[in-house]
Structure 1
Amino acid sequence: MAFPDIQSFMRLLEERGELIRVTTPVSRELEITEIADRMVKQGGPALLFENVLGSDYPIVIGLLGTKERVALSLGVDDLDDLAAKVRNLIDLSGGGSKLGLLSNVTKLRDAMNLPPRRVRSAPVQEVVWRGDEVDLSKIPVLKCWPLDGGPFVTLPLVITRDPETGERNMGMYRVQVMSRNTTGMHWQRHKTGTKHLEKARKLGQRLEVAVAIGGDPALIYAATAPLPPVPGLDEFALAGYLRGQRYPVARGVTVDLDVPANAEFVLEGYVDPSEDWVVEGPFGDHTGFYTLPDLYPHFHVTAVTMRRNPVYPATIVGRPPMEDAYLIEASERLFLPAAQLIIPEIVDYHMPPAGVAHNLVFVSIKKSYPGQAYKVANGLFGLGQMMFAKVIVVLDEDVPVTDFGAVWREVTQKAVPGRDTLTTRGPIDVLDHSSRGWGYGGKLIIDATTKRPEEVGSAASSRPDQAGDTLAPDGFTPRAAQDLPAFDGVLAQRQTPDGYWLVALHKTRAGQARDLAAAFAAHPAAHGIRHLLICDDQTDVNDIGDVWWTILNNIDAERDVWVQGELLAWDGAQKIPEEGFVREWPPKIVMDQGVVDRVDRLWNVYGLPESLR
């Protein structure tokens, strides 16, 4: 099913009981975030806030807040159907028979739907503000978290065109409102928008920009998708393929750019590459930590266009799981066939919410020779935005990659620290606060596949080659809980029967985590432990998701993960200047307690289900 616009999708959700209208006056500063955060973490419905203080426009949030709603928005029954759809498109062989040729004609007709189509009349241009009429404060842009530097557009579809080739790009780059007619433009160094701006600088010209807010769900998803560099394939084309019809676009009123005709709002304007950049941030980001202030380009808004009765769509990002986890899962399914085309032994892969997309990848493979796990992991590091992956765990083909607990049990049973772990380095997401350098840091590969003789040591390597010969896991058996040792700075700790020791550490001195690891490795309680997970003092050791989320955010894998005796130690505690860490360490996102209390008091007034409080 193709949705003409986001409001038609909202109507369907309301018919299905998947959208609730809130008529109580609410603040766009923090209050909506607190309500929406509770909803998405419990799989609750989308919310339409009809009475937003200080604005004439309603806010809808959480439209894609469950796996099922993302699938519905993309016109499939299940997200796995996306993989089948793409696999069918890229397999154009069909054979030489008439039936095969007819099959290819159908597939090519699908491909012909990719280019967008220009329309003369666009709903998003029914109302136009130009020049002094532009006032971004009238649009109900959210301030999401207490330490945010201001209000941020969180579902922006940022459109630019390559000044040399004319190729379009659409990306979802957060947009901080700076004044009534200017914003920041969060183009990171690896992003296409940055490349377009650099080309404009060399040509001595401004870069035209359009920021669409809304459109149909397929386009919103497409703006987040890590598209491969294929000529003619852009976000409008992907949305057209998912909709089964060419995407409607209109020429901007003050910029020579195609904008989605069915959006709710469009901000038009330019970035002047000769201008000084402006301070943007801080911002409570998808990592669950604040991204600290930094310099980014300045976007000047020359016009705002909108529908006569627009709705402002928003999302929030922060501690996982959040709405973005389901968009990431959609990308996993959509691009699985392409990954398998390049690395055919891949059976499945998954980026769990605790890894906030780029920090953790589970991949299962059909293994047929020694060292294949490392071959696959290094191949993944070379695939587009997968270059930002920090930890890749490679598993046997029968391991369900979406079962978080099952994967980590496989790791303790089949990956011996040191022998089956490998650190390397490469590009890291620039939002990563723990890496050794900006956009550059360590990576870890864990081979949790069943080992072949050649992979277990010099004694085995001298054995004659035997096709299909594998070895059972060695050196680990499930353990009963033992007395927990006491160490300096340890606030809480927990052992698990499957080989993990979880620690919340208040770090006060350099080398404290390594001293802890050395002392524990020598303690009798370490027998049967494979992994020592050292977290900061804000971590709940009884919540394994919280533990891994903290660890993965707070490590540079080459610096902070090491073999200590028979175990692998992970230092996910805060890094301090005495350890040579010169950058400022960001705080975790925590909502203001006064806002939490207010939402608690008004929950029934909002008309929201008590079970989701």
Structure 2
Amino acid sequence: MGYRFLSECTDDLEKHDHLVRVDEEVDPNLEMAEIHRRVYASGGPAMLFTNVKGCRFPMVSNLFGTLERARFIFRDTFENVQRAIQLKVAPEAALKNPLKYWKAPFIAWQMQPRKARRGAVMKNSISLPELPQLKCWPDDGGAFVTLPQVYSEDVRSPGLMKSNMGMYRVQLSGNDYDPQSQVGLHYQIHRGIGVQHQAAIDAGKPFRVNVFVGGNPAMTVAAVMPLPEGMSELTFAGALAGHRIPMVNIGECSSIYANADFVISGMVDPERQMPEGPFGDHLGYYSLTHEFPVLNVDKVWHRDGAIWPFTVVGRPPQEDTVFGELIHELTAPVIPTVLPGVRGVNAVDASGVHPLLLAIGSERYVPWQKTSAPQELLTQANAILGQGQMSLAKYLWIIDEKCDPDLNIDDIESFFVRMLERVDWQRDLHFQTRTTIDTLDYSGSGMNSGSKLVVAAVGDAIRKLPTESPTDLQLPPGFSDPQVCIPGVLAVRAPTFEPEDGKARTDPHLRRFCKSFLARDSICNFPLILLVDDSPFVAATLNNFLWATFTRSNPATDVDGIAAWTEHRHWGCDGSLVIDARVKPFHAPPLIEDPAITKRIDAMAARGGVLSKWL
């Protein structure tokens, strides 16, 4: 439905049994987040917390907790947006089936944000400490806004159509922030707001940022939508909301979303950064304290009947997984037009999204010859790594579609099996060193710094993948407990990572393991070997394998091989590829619930009540 306000959405969800009210007092300090995580994991409803400890505003979470509910929210517009995207991909479709696409002109009109003279959100003014103070993990640095729509305009060419809106982390309290006038803005590498911030610095002009919270859920989805640089997220939001987004101009380079529930407005200090974090993030670890921009807040507004929406992130899957699924449904048809020859790309949620990309490409360069080595696949891999936030990936595995025409990019185990049946470690490994990776990834050589590995596979299978550990396997001293993760992948418990000088990013155990074997040894029947701290854990589920392997390794330092060699600066190995996926001292700590909070929520479940079946 074309909701104008968030309250219309929550009323609609409640009417159709997608939302429950929680009238028992709940503390936004850790309790609310633990309830959210449990209800999400159980496939439960959205939750409207009406009795928030220490706060007069109700809070709602898990709005997008299931794909079914997300589709329900956008049931009147989602299909139209899909068709609009299809028209962009294939304009001739409208000529072939005009009745199917007759709404396209109306959608184009809805994509134009409209100027409004006033907005309901500007009805009431409050101070920063009066906002809900949500803390999700025990070691978070303070309270955070977890579903912000951070809006800015380009000072060189102000206006709604050149605006940027993203979901950049906002720290409301803690650290050294003045609780009455400062919040932290955590925007990472390769985000649109950074381009606008740089433009403001270059122009010597003040940089105003407005943080919207609430309003139509389409604004939330638009804030995470990977749109091309220079295209306003307001256009996508209008199409998904089913109406033009109303914006109130409050001065040069600044507008307010009229139907938001809350707005935090201020100026970014061009000369100052402040410590922001830690924050339990979507890789399943804390992102640590670093210097980030600070927003000097001069106004906080809210509408009558305002509701504060929030989510909780952590090791995937979490609610933000559904955002990814929605985006994939919308953008999948566009990929071949942006990346010629690429049939599909999967930013693997279980690995934290950015660490691992899977892709299906196509070899078309020399169709009269049997493909014997990746060629066009490498061109496509470079194109993928040159696209927006996909450029932050550490590992890209890409396979020729002719290897299995029926291969589903979302069937991750089958994808790895097809790859490992064909990959040639002497030929198919392509490294990029000293490059950029995700800000939240601590496996690299420094903040935003690390390496990349492209693995490309073509042709017929060259091996049969084993599914049981070799009976004659003799592991070197200190290594034990081999476990099969998926066909062809063996996890081995390794000694604790111990850098020789206390600072190095490698230790001798990886090289010692690789030198203990020859390429003809039975262990090399497994093309991929993982060195880990807990092999039963890593092998227990596909998600454990993906999470531990690709969040805890940096290709340039943590990839080695049995019978490895270098020729003309190309690295390869004659035996198994070995990835060191142990926890290192410089990694960020993993997210763990507070035991006292866990007990309190257990007690809440035992008392019964509206949430007991999901807790």
| 1:63 match: secondary structure | coil
- Which residue of the other structure, out of 417, 420, 438, is the alignment partner of 1:429? 438
CA distance in 2, matches of 1:86, 1:103: 13
- Which residue of the other structure, out of 450, 461, 464, is the alignment partner of 1:473? 461
State the match for 2:164 in structure 1.
169
Counterpart AA for 2:123 = E
- Which residue of the other structure, out of 492, 511, 520, is the alignment partner of 1:514? 511
Counterpart AA for 2:164 = N
State the match for 1:361 in structure 2.
357
CA distance in 2, matches of 1:92, 1:142: 46
The alignment status of 1:244 with 2:252, answered yes or no, reads no
State the match for 2:551 in structure 1.
553
CA distance in 2, matches of 1:26, 1:606: 15
State the match for 1:92 in structure 2.
91
- Which residue of the other structure, out of 104, 113, 117, is the alignment partner of 1:120? 117
| 2:442 match: secondary structure | coil
State the 1:538 CA deviation.
9.5
Counterpart AA for 2:167 = M
The alignment status of 1:147 with 2:155, answered yes or no, reads no
- Which residue of the other structure, out of 391, 396, 400, is the alignment partner of 1:392? 396
Q: Relative to structure 1, is the Cα distance of residues 536 and 3 closer, same or farther in structure 2, using a 3 angstrom cutoff?
A: farther
State the 1:519 CA deviation.
3.0
CA distance in 2, matches of 1:228, 1:384: 8
Q: Relative to structure 1, is the Cα distance of residues 105 and 311 closer, same or farther in structure 2, using a 3 angstrom cutoff?
A: closer
The alignment status of 1:17 with 2:7, answered yes or no, reads no
State the match for 2:490 in structure 1.
501
Q: Relative to structure 1, is the Cα distance of residues 523 and 489 closer, same or farther in structure 2, using a 3 angstrom cutoff?
A: farther
TM-score (norm 1): 0.86
| 2:516 match: secondary structure | helix
8 Å CA contact 1:197–1:207 kept in 2: the answer is: yes
Task: Determine what percentage of the aligned residue pairs are the same residue.
Answer: 29
Cα deviations across residues 310-354 of structure 1 (Å, max 9, x unaligned)?
111001111110111111222223223332113232222222211
Moved more, 366-375 or 290-299: 366-375
State the 1:52 CA deviation.
1.1
State the match for 2:307 in structure 1.
311
Counterpart AA for 2:304 = R
Moved more, 53-62 or 535-544: 535-544
8 Å CA contact 1:210–1:255 kept in 2: the answer is: no
The alignment status of 1:410 with 2:418, answered yes or no, reads yes
CA distance in 2, matches of 1:103, 1:612: 41
State the match for 2:261 in structure 1.
264
CA distance in 1, matches of 2:498, 2:476: 13
State the 1:587 CA deviation.
0.4
Moved more, 344-353 or 475-484: 475-484
Cα deviations across residues 140-184 of structure 1 (Å, max 9, x unaligned)?
131111111111111111111111121211111111123122111
| 2:491 match: secondary structure | strand
State the match for 2:368 in structure 1.
none
CA distance in 1, matches of 2:17, 2:108: 35
8 Å CA contact 2:262–2:306 kept in 1: the answer is: yes
Cα deviations across residues 34-54 of structure 1 (Å, max 9, x unaligned)?
111122233222211111110
Cα deviations across residues 237-256 of structure 1 (Å, max 9, x unaligned)?
1111223321122234x886
State the 1:100 CA deviation.
8.6
State the 1:502 CA deviation.
1.5
Moved more, 148-157 or 205-214: 205-214
CA distance in 2, matches of 1:520, 1:611: 53
Q: Relative to structure 1, is the Cα distance of residues 68 and 153 closer, same or farther in structure 2, using a 3 angstrom cutoff?
A: same
State the match for 1:533 in structure 2.
530
Q: Relative to structure 1, is the Cα distance of residues 184 and 255 closer, same or farther in structure 2, using a 3 angstrom cutoff?
A: farther
Which 4+ residue blocks in structure 1 deviate beyond 6 angstroms?
Answer: 76-79, 99-105
CA distance in 2, matches of 1:488, 1:260: 63
State the match for 1:59 in structure 2.
59
- Which residue of the other structure, out of 440, 449, 454, is the alignment partner of 1:445? 454
TM-score (norm 2): 0.86
State the 1:359 CA deviation.
1.4
Counterpart AA for 1:442 = S
Cα deviations across residues 426-474 of structure 1 (Å, max 9, x unaligned)?
431122211224323221222244x1xxxxxxxxxxxxxxxxxxxx311
State the match for 1:48 in structure 2.
48
| 1:411 match: secondary structure | helix
CA distance in 2, matches of 1:190, 1:366: 28
The alignment status of 1:110 with 2:107, answered yes or no, reads yes
Q: Relative to structure 1, is the Cα distance of residues 200 and 609 closer, same or farther in structure 2, using a 3 angstrom cutoff?
A: closer
Structure 2 runs not aligned, ≥5 long: 366-370, 500-506, 564-574
Cα deviations across residues 208-255 of structure 1 (Å, max 9, x unaligned)?
11110012111100011111025xx31111111223321122234x88
Counterpart AA for 2:232 = D
Cα deviations across residues 496-535 of structure 1 (Å, max 9, x unaligned)?
4611111344323522133234436679551421111223
State the match for 1:460 in structure 2.
none
Q: How many residues align?
A: 573
State the 1:539 CA deviation.
7.9
Moved more, 265-274 or 189-198: 189-198
Q: Relative to structure 1, is the Cα distance of residues 344 and 293 closer, same or farther in structure 2, using a 3 angstrom cutoff?
A: same
State the match for 1:323 in structure 2.
319
8 Å CA contact 1:430–1:439 kept in 2: the answer is: yes
Counterpart AA for 2:532 = C
State the 1:94 CA deviation.
6.2
Counterpart AA for 2:392 = F
Q: Relative to structure 1, is the Cα distance of residues 330 and 101 closer, same or farther in structure 2, using a 3 angstrom cutoff?
A: closer
CA distance in 1, matches of 2:395, 2:524: 25
Q: Relative to structure 1, is the Cα distance of residues 142 and 517 closer, same or farther in structure 2, using a 3 angstrom cutoff?
A: farther
CA distance in 2, matches of 1:513, 1:600: 42
| 1:263 match: secondary structure | coil
8 Å CA contact 1:536–1:550 kept in 2: the answer is: no
CA distance in 1, matches of 2:204, 2:535: 49
